[in-house]
Protein backbone atom coordinates (compact mmCIF):
# COMPACT_ATOMS: atom_id res chain seq x y z
CA UNK A 1 0.00 0.00 0.00
CA UNK A 2 1.46 3.35 -0.99
CA UNK A 3 0.71 6.36 1.21
CA UNK A 4 1.93 9.93 1.63
CA UNK A 5 3.44 10.91 4.96
CA UNK A 6 4.14 14.32 6.41
CA UNK A 7 7.93 14.34 6.40
CA UNK A 8 8.49 17.77 7.96
CA UNK A 9 6.32 20.68 9.05
CA UNK A 10 6.35 23.31 6.28
CA UNK A 11 8.01 26.62 7.09
CA UNK A 12 6.09 29.10 4.96
CA UNK A 13 4.86 27.70 1.68
CA UNK A 14 4.96 23.88 1.68
CA UNK A 15 7.62 22.28 -0.51
CA UNK A 16 7.73 18.77 -2.03
CA UNK A 17 10.40 17.74 0.51
CA UNK A 18 7.81 18.16 3.31
CA UNK A 19 6.06 15.06 1.95
CA UNK A 20 7.23 11.48 1.54
CA UNK A 21 5.67 8.66 -0.43
CA UNK A 22 6.15 5.39 1.41
CA UNK A 23 5.05 1.78 1.01
CA UNK A 24 3.46 -0.02 3.94
CA UNK A 25 1.80 -3.37 4.67
CA UNK A 26 -1.92 -3.53 5.44
CA UNK A 27 -3.03 -6.35 7.73
CA UNK A 28 -6.00 -8.42 6.46
CA UNK A 29 -9.51 -7.27 7.32
CA UNK A 30 -11.35 -8.93 10.19
CA UNK A 31 -15.07 -9.52 10.87
CA UNK A 32 -16.98 -6.20 10.65
CA UNK A 33 -14.35 -4.51 8.46
CA UNK A 34 -14.02 -3.79 4.76
CA UNK A 35 -11.17 -2.78 2.47
CA UNK A 36 -11.40 0.25 0.18
CA UNK A 37 -9.29 1.07 -2.85
CA UNK A 38 -9.16 4.85 -3.28
CA UNK A 39 -10.09 6.28 -6.68
CA UNK A 40 -10.11 10.00 -5.90
CA UNK A 41 -8.75 12.19 -3.13
CA UNK A 42 -9.21 15.83 -2.35
CA UNK A 43 -6.54 18.41 -1.63
CA UNK A 44 -7.82 21.34 0.42
CA UNK A 45 -6.32 24.54 1.84
CA UNK A 46 -7.42 23.62 5.39
CA UNK A 47 -4.85 20.79 5.32
CA UNK A 48 -2.15 23.45 5.61
CA UNK A 49 -3.48 24.29 9.08
CA UNK A 50 -3.20 20.65 10.12
CA UNK A 51 0.47 20.66 9.12
CA UNK A 52 1.17 23.17 11.92
CA UNK A 53 1.76 21.92 15.41
CA UNK A 54 -0.69 24.06 17.31
CA UNK A 55 -4.15 24.19 18.72
CA UNK A 56 -6.84 24.28 16.06
CA UNK A 57 -10.32 22.97 15.36
CA UNK A 58 -8.79 19.79 13.91
CA UNK A 59 -5.92 17.66 15.21
CA UNK A 60 -2.50 18.43 13.70
CA UNK A 61 -1.01 15.85 11.32
CA UNK A 62 1.90 13.95 12.83
CA UNK A 63 5.36 13.83 11.28
CA UNK A 64 6.11 10.37 9.91
CA UNK A 65 2.43 9.50 9.78
CA UNK A 66 0.07 9.39 6.83
CA UNK A 67 -1.84 12.53 5.87
CA UNK A 68 -5.64 12.37 5.77
CA UNK A 69 -8.40 13.99 3.79
CA UNK A 70 -11.58 13.47 1.82
CA UNK A 71 -11.51 10.51 -0.57
CA UNK A 72 -13.74 8.30 -2.65
CA UNK A 73 -13.05 4.65 -3.19
CA UNK A 74 -14.53 1.29 -4.01
CA UNK A 75 -15.04 -1.52 -1.52
CA UNK A 76 -12.88 -4.38 -2.80
CA UNK A 77 -13.24 -6.83 0.12
CA UNK A 78 -15.80 -6.92 2.88
CA UNK A 79 -16.73 -8.66 6.08
CA UNK A 80 -19.30 -5.98 6.91
CA UNK A 81 -22.92 -6.53 5.90
CA UNK A 82 -23.62 -2.82 5.29
CA UNK A 83 -20.70 -2.17 2.95
CA UNK A 84 -20.57 -4.68 0.11
CA UNK A 85 -17.91 -5.36 -2.44
CA UNK A 86 -18.43 -2.94 -5.34
CA UNK A 87 -19.98 -0.17 -3.18
CA UNK A 88 -18.55 3.33 -3.61
CA UNK A 89 -17.81 5.15 -0.39
CA UNK A 90 -16.81 8.59 0.84
CA UNK A 91 -14.27 8.61 3.64
CA UNK A 92 -11.53 10.69 5.20
CA UNK A 93 -8.49 8.49 4.54
CA UNK A 94 -7.12 10.08 1.39
CA UNK A 95 -3.38 10.32 0.63
CA UNK A 96 -3.13 6.50 0.30
CA UNK A 97 -4.17 3.72 -2.04
CA UNK A 98 -6.02 1.38 0.33
CA UNK A 99 -7.68 1.71 3.71
CA UNK A 100 -9.65 -0.46 6.10
CA UNK A 101 -12.73 0.60 8.03
CA UNK A 102 -15.51 -0.67 10.27
CA UNK A 103 -17.87 1.85 8.64
CA UNK A 104 -17.60 4.63 11.22
CA UNK A 105 -17.60 8.04 9.51
CA UNK A 106 -17.92 6.43 6.07
CA UNK A 107 -20.87 7.17 3.77
CA UNK A 108 -22.03 5.21 0.75
CA UNK A 109 -22.45 7.26 -2.38
CA UNK A 110 -24.80 6.81 -5.28
CA UNK A 111 -22.57 6.53 -8.33
CA UNK A 112 -25.61 6.96 -10.60
CA UNK A 113 -26.39 10.44 -9.27
CA UNK A 114 -23.20 12.19 -10.44
CA UNK A 115 -19.60 11.39 -11.37
CA UNK A 116 -17.89 9.94 -8.29
CA UNK A 117 -15.53 12.85 -7.76
CA UNK A 118 -18.43 15.33 -7.59
CA UNK A 119 -18.97 14.04 -4.04
CA UNK A 120 -15.67 15.68 -3.08
CA UNK A 121 -16.60 18.95 -4.79
CA UNK A 122 -19.92 20.39 -5.84
CA UNK A 123 -21.95 17.72 -4.00
CA UNK A 124 -19.37 17.31 -1.26
CA UNK A 125 -17.53 19.37 1.32
CA UNK A 126 -16.68 22.39 -0.81
CA UNK A 127 -20.13 22.69 -2.41
CA UNK A 128 -21.72 22.42 1.00
CA UNK A 129 -19.36 25.07 2.38
CA UNK A 130 -20.58 27.47 -0.29
CA UNK A 131 -24.21 26.65 0.45
CA UNK A 132 -23.89 26.84 4.26
CA UNK A 133 -21.97 30.12 4.07
CA UNK A 134 -24.63 31.75 1.93
CA UNK A 135 -27.80 30.17 3.30
CA UNK A 136 -27.04 29.70 6.97
CA UNK A 137 -24.42 32.36 7.71
CA UNK A 138 -25.18 35.22 5.32
CA UNK A 139 -28.91 34.40 5.18
CA UNK A 140 -28.68 35.58 1.60
CA UNK A 141 -31.42 37.90 0.38
CA UNK A 142 -32.29 38.10 -3.34
CA UNK A 143 -31.10 41.30 -4.96
CA UNK A 144 -28.15 41.95 -2.68
CA UNK A 145 -24.62 42.65 -3.87
CA UNK A 146 -22.01 40.09 -2.94
CA UNK A 147 -18.23 40.09 -3.29
CA UNK A 148 -16.52 36.68 -3.47
CA UNK A 149 -12.75 36.17 -3.22
CA UNK A 150 -10.96 33.10 -4.68
CA UNK A 151 -14.10 33.20 -6.79
CA UNK A 152 -13.11 30.56 -9.32
CA UNK A 153 -12.03 27.98 -6.74
CA UNK A 154 -13.95 25.00 -5.42
CA UNK A 155 -15.96 26.98 -2.85
CA UNK A 156 -15.95 30.37 -4.58
CA UNK A 157 -17.20 29.12 -7.95
CA UNK A 158 -20.26 27.60 -6.30
CA UNK A 159 -20.85 30.65 -4.10
CA UNK A 160 -20.93 32.87 -7.20
CA UNK A 161 -23.47 30.67 -8.96
CA UNK A 162 -25.78 30.11 -5.98
CA UNK A 163 -25.80 33.89 -5.52
CA UNK A 164 -26.60 34.44 -9.22
CA UNK A 165 -29.41 31.87 -8.97
CA UNK A 166 -30.77 34.04 -6.12
CA UNK A 167 -30.73 37.13 -8.33
CA UNK A 168 -27.83 38.77 -6.55
CA UNK A 169 -25.23 41.05 -8.09
CA UNK A 170 -21.95 39.18 -7.91
CA UNK A 171 -18.40 40.51 -8.00
CA UNK A 172 -15.68 37.89 -8.12
CA UNK A 173 -11.94 38.19 -7.71
CA UNK A 174 -9.35 35.72 -8.99
CA UNK A 175 -5.71 35.72 -9.98
CA UNK A 176 -5.48 34.42 -13.55
CA UNK A 177 -6.94 35.57 -16.90
CA UNK A 178 -8.49 32.15 -17.65
CA UNK A 179 -10.22 32.23 -14.27
CA UNK A 180 -11.57 35.71 -14.99
CA UNK A 181 -12.91 34.47 -18.33
CA UNK A 182 -14.58 31.48 -16.71
CA UNK A 183 -16.23 33.73 -14.12
CA UNK A 184 -17.59 35.97 -16.86
CA UNK A 185 -18.56 33.38 -19.44
CA UNK A 186 -19.67 30.40 -17.39
CA UNK A 187 -20.52 31.60 -13.89
CA UNK A 188 -21.97 34.80 -15.43
CA UNK A 189 -20.90 37.06 -12.59
CA UNK A 190 -21.58 40.77 -13.01
CA UNK A 191 -18.07 42.10 -12.42
CA UNK A 192 -14.61 40.60 -12.05
CA UNK A 193 -11.32 41.71 -10.58
CA UNK A 194 -7.97 40.14 -11.40
CA UNK A 195 -6.35 41.03 -8.09
CA UNK A 196 -2.88 40.31 -9.44
CA UNK A 197 -3.30 42.92 -12.14
CA UNK A 198 -4.58 45.72 -9.96
CA UNK A 199 -2.44 48.14 -7.98
CA UNK A 200 -5.22 49.03 -5.62
CA UNK A 201 -7.75 46.33 -4.81
CA UNK A 202 -9.96 48.67 -2.81
CA UNK A 203 -10.28 51.11 -5.74
CA UNK A 204 -11.02 48.26 -8.13
CA UNK A 205 -13.73 46.96 -5.81
CA UNK A 206 -15.19 50.44 -5.44
CA UNK A 207 -15.49 50.72 -9.22
CA UNK A 208 -17.04 47.24 -9.52
CA UNK A 209 -19.57 47.95 -6.75
CA UNK A 210 -20.50 51.65 -6.90
CA UNK A 211 -23.45 51.07 -4.52
CA UNK A 212 -21.33 49.12 -2.04
CA UNK A 213 -21.53 45.48 -1.04
CA UNK A 214 -23.98 43.72 1.26
CA UNK A 215 -22.16 40.43 1.72
CA UNK A 216 -18.45 39.65 1.50
CA UNK A 217 -17.77 35.91 1.20
CA UNK A 218 -14.17 35.77 2.42
CA UNK A 219 -11.97 32.93 1.22
CA UNK A 220 -8.74 34.94 1.28
CA UNK A 221 -8.48 37.39 4.23
CA UNK A 222 -5.65 39.98 4.28
CA UNK A 223 -5.82 42.56 1.50
CA UNK A 224 -9.17 41.23 0.22
CA UNK A 225 -10.82 41.62 3.61
CA UNK A 226 -9.36 45.09 3.96
CA UNK A 227 -10.71 46.12 0.54
CA UNK A 228 -14.12 44.65 1.35
CA UNK A 229 -14.32 46.56 4.65
CA UNK A 230 -13.88 49.79 2.68
CA UNK A 231 -16.95 49.09 0.56
CA UNK A 232 -19.28 47.10 2.78
CA UNK A 233 -22.61 48.85 3.37
CA UNK A 234 -24.20 49.63 6.73
CA UNK A 235 -25.62 46.47 8.37
CA UNK A 236 -23.77 44.25 5.89
CA UNK A 237 -22.13 40.94 6.63
CA UNK A 238 -18.79 39.17 6.18
CA UNK A 239 -18.92 35.39 5.88
CA UNK A 240 -15.51 34.29 7.19
CA UNK A 241 -15.01 31.04 5.33
CA UNK A 242 -11.24 30.97 4.92
CA UNK A 243 -8.16 33.20 4.83
CA UNK A 244 -5.82 31.41 2.45
CA UNK A 245 -3.56 34.45 2.06
CA UNK A 246 -2.44 33.95 5.67
CA UNK A 247 -2.00 30.15 5.79
CA UNK A 248 1.70 30.15 4.87
CA UNK A 249 2.58 33.27 6.86
CA UNK A 250 5.51 32.83 9.22
CA UNK A 251 4.48 35.96 11.16
CA UNK A 252 0.90 37.04 11.94
CA UNK A 253 -0.33 39.64 9.45
CA UNK A 254 -1.30 43.16 10.52
CA UNK A 255 -4.16 43.56 8.04
CA UNK A 256 -6.98 44.45 7.98
CA UNK A 257 -5.81 47.87 9.08
CA UNK A 258 -9.33 49.28 8.75
CA UNK A 259 -11.10 46.78 11.02
CA UNK A 260 -12.59 49.69 12.99
CA UNK A 261 -15.04 50.12 10.10
CA UNK A 262 -17.10 47.20 11.36
CA UNK A 263 -18.33 49.45 14.19
CA UNK A 264 -19.56 52.48 12.27
CA UNK A 265 -21.04 50.34 9.54
CA UNK A 266 -22.53 47.85 12.05
CA UNK A 267 -21.01 44.97 10.08
CA UNK A 268 -21.64 41.40 11.19
CA UNK A 269 -18.56 39.15 10.74
CA UNK A 270 -19.13 35.48 11.31
CA UNK A 271 -16.87 32.48 10.92
CA UNK A 272 -18.21 28.98 10.40
CA UNK A 273 -17.02 25.41 9.93
CA UNK A 274 -19.00 23.35 7.46
CA UNK A 275 -18.62 20.25 9.64
CA UNK A 276 -20.95 21.83 12.24
CA UNK A 277 -23.77 21.80 9.70
CA UNK A 278 -23.93 18.12 8.75
CA UNK A 279 -27.57 18.03 9.90
CA UNK A 280 -28.28 20.29 6.90
CA UNK A 281 -26.77 17.84 4.40
CA UNK A 282 -30.10 16.57 3.03
CA UNK A 283 -31.35 20.13 2.46
CA UNK A 284 -28.07 20.99 0.77
CA UNK A 285 -28.13 17.95 -1.53
CA UNK A 286 -31.77 18.56 -2.46
CA UNK A 287 -31.18 22.22 -3.33
CA UNK A 288 -27.86 21.62 -5.09
CA UNK A 289 -29.15 18.78 -7.27
CA UNK A 290 -32.12 20.96 -8.23
CA UNK A 291 -29.81 23.85 -9.17
CA UNK A 292 -27.65 21.49 -11.23
CA UNK A 293 -30.70 20.02 -12.97
CA UNK A 294 -31.93 23.55 -13.77
CA UNK A 295 -28.54 24.31 -15.35
CA UNK A 296 -27.79 26.99 -12.74
CA UNK A 297 -24.55 25.40 -11.48
CA UNK A 298 -21.54 24.46 -13.59
CA UNK A 299 -18.43 23.08 -12.00
CA UNK A 300 -14.83 22.65 -12.94
CA UNK A 301 -12.22 20.18 -11.79
CA UNK A 302 -8.45 20.39 -11.96
CA UNK A 303 -7.27 16.79 -11.94
CA UNK A 304 -3.77 15.63 -11.04
CA UNK A 305 -2.98 12.02 -11.83
CA UNK A 306 -1.17 9.75 -9.40
CA UNK A 307 -0.69 9.63 -5.65
CA UNK A 308 2.97 10.47 -6.22
CA UNK A 309 1.84 13.90 -7.49
CA UNK A 310 -0.64 14.63 -4.69
CA UNK A 311 1.81 16.89 -2.83
CA UNK A 312 2.27 19.02 -5.97
CA UNK A 313 -1.50 19.31 -6.33
CA UNK A 314 -1.75 20.47 -2.74
CA UNK A 315 1.08 23.00 -3.09
CA UNK A 316 -0.54 24.24 -6.32
CA UNK A 317 -3.51 25.55 -4.31
CA UNK A 318 -1.23 28.30 -3.02
CA UNK A 319 -0.05 29.17 -6.53
CA UNK A 320 -3.60 29.31 -7.89
CA UNK A 321 -3.01 26.31 -10.18
CA UNK A 322 -6.59 25.13 -9.90
CA UNK A 323 -9.79 26.22 -11.57
CA UNK A 324 -12.67 24.74 -9.56
CA UNK A 325 -12.04 21.72 -7.37
CA UNK A 326 -8.51 20.38 -7.14
CA UNK A 327 -8.57 16.56 -7.17
CA UNK A 328 -6.09 13.73 -7.36
CA UNK A 329 -7.02 10.61 -9.36
CA UNK A 330 -5.43 7.52 -7.87
CA UNK A 331 -4.72 4.86 -10.43
P1 LIG B 1 -9.75 26.90 -3.87
O2 LIG B 1 -10.26 25.88 -4.84
O3 LIG B 1 -10.37 28.25 -3.89
O4 LIG B 1 -8.17 27.00 -4.07
C5 LIG B 1 -7.44 27.98 -3.48
C6 LIG B 1 -7.38 29.25 -4.36
O7 LIG B 1 -7.07 30.35 -3.53
C8 LIG B 1 -6.29 29.22 -5.40
O9 LIG B 1 -6.66 28.59 -6.60
C10 LIG B 1 -5.98 30.70 -5.59
O11 LIG B 1 -6.76 31.24 -6.66
C12 LIG B 1 -6.44 31.34 -4.28
N13 LIG B 1 -5.30 31.86 -3.52
C14 LIG B 1 -4.21 31.18 -3.09
N15 LIG B 1 -3.38 31.99 -2.42
C16 LIG B 1 -3.95 33.23 -2.45
C17 LIG B 1 -3.57 34.50 -1.93
N18 LIG B 1 -2.43 34.67 -1.25
N19 LIG B 1 -4.40 35.56 -2.16
C20 LIG B 1 -5.54 35.39 -2.86
N21 LIG B 1 -5.95 34.22 -3.37
C22 LIG B 1 -5.17 33.15 -3.15
O23 LIG B 1 -9.87 26.31 -2.41
P24 LIG B 1 -11.22 25.93 -1.67
O25 LIG B 1 -12.36 26.37 -2.48
O26 LIG B 1 -11.14 24.53 -1.24
O27 LIG B 1 -11.15 26.83 -0.36
C28 LIG B 1 -11.40 28.23 -0.42
C29 LIG B 1 -11.35 28.80 0.99
O30 LIG B 1 -12.40 28.25 1.78
C31 LIG B 1 -10.05 28.51 1.71
O32 LIG B 1 -9.66 29.65 2.45
C33 LIG B 1 -10.42 27.38 2.64
O34 LIG B 1 -9.60 27.31 3.77
C35 LIG B 1 -11.86 27.75 2.98
N36 LIG B 1 -12.69 26.63 3.40
C37 LIG B 1 -13.40 26.77 4.57
C38 LIG B 1 -14.26 25.79 5.00
C39 LIG B 1 -15.03 26.01 6.25
O40 LIG B 1 -15.71 25.08 6.72
N41 LIG B 1 -14.99 27.21 6.83
C42 LIG B 1 -14.41 24.52 4.24
C43 LIG B 1 -13.69 24.51 2.97
C44 LIG B 1 -12.85 25.52 2.60
P45 LIG B 1 -6.32 32.58 -7.44
O46 LIG B 1 -5.63 32.13 -8.70
O47 LIG B 1 -7.60 33.26 -7.69
O48 LIG B 1 -5.37 33.31 -6.54
Does the Cβ of 302 fall within 6 Å of ligand 1?
no
* Tens-digit pLDDT profile for residues 222-259: 999 999 999 999 999 999 999 999 999 999 887 799 99
d(CA 211, CA 147): 12
Atom of ligand 1 nearest to the CA of 46: 34
Q: Give, using CA atoms, the residue closest to atom 31 of ligand 1.
A: 242
pLDDT at residue 269 in the model? 98
Which residues are bridge partners to 22 per DSSP? Answer: 3
- ipTM surpasses 0.90: yes
Q: Give, using CA atoms, the residue closest to atom 3 of ligand 1.
A: 153
Q: Is 183 exposed, middle or buried (0-12, 13-18, 19+ CB in 10 A)?
A: buried
d(CA 3, CA 16): 15
**pLDDT(54) > 90:** no
* Tens-digit pLDDT profile for residues 171-218: 999 999 999 999 999 999 999 999 999 999 999 999 999 999 999 999
> If pLDDT is split at 50, 70 and 90, which confidence band does 296 have?
very high
Domains of the chain: 2-119+301-329 (3.90.180.10), 125-275 (3.40.50.720)
Question: Residue 109: CB partners within 8 Å, gap ≥ 6?
Answer: 72, 88, 89, 90, 116, 119
Calculate how far, in angstroms, residue 34's C-alpha sits from the geometric centre of ligand 1.
Answer: 34
d(CA 287, CA 300): 19
Could you tell me what percentage of the chain is helix, strand and coil, using 3-state DSSP and rounding each to the nearest 5? 35, 25, 40
Question: Residue 89: CB partners within 8 Å, gap ≥ 6?
Answer: 36, 72, 73, 74, 75, 83, 106, 107, 108, 109
User: What average pLDDT does range 270-293 have in this prediction?
Assistant: 96
Amino acid sequence: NREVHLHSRPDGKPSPSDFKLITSELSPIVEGEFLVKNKWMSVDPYMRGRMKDGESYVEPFQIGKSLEGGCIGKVVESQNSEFKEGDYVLGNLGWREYWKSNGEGVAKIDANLAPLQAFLGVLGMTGMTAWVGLKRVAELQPGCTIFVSAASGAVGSIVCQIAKANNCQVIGSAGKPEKIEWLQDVAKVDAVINYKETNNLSDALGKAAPDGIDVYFDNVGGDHLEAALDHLNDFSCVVCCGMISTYNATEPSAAPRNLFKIIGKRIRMQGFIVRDHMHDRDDFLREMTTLIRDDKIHWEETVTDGLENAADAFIGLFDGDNLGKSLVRIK
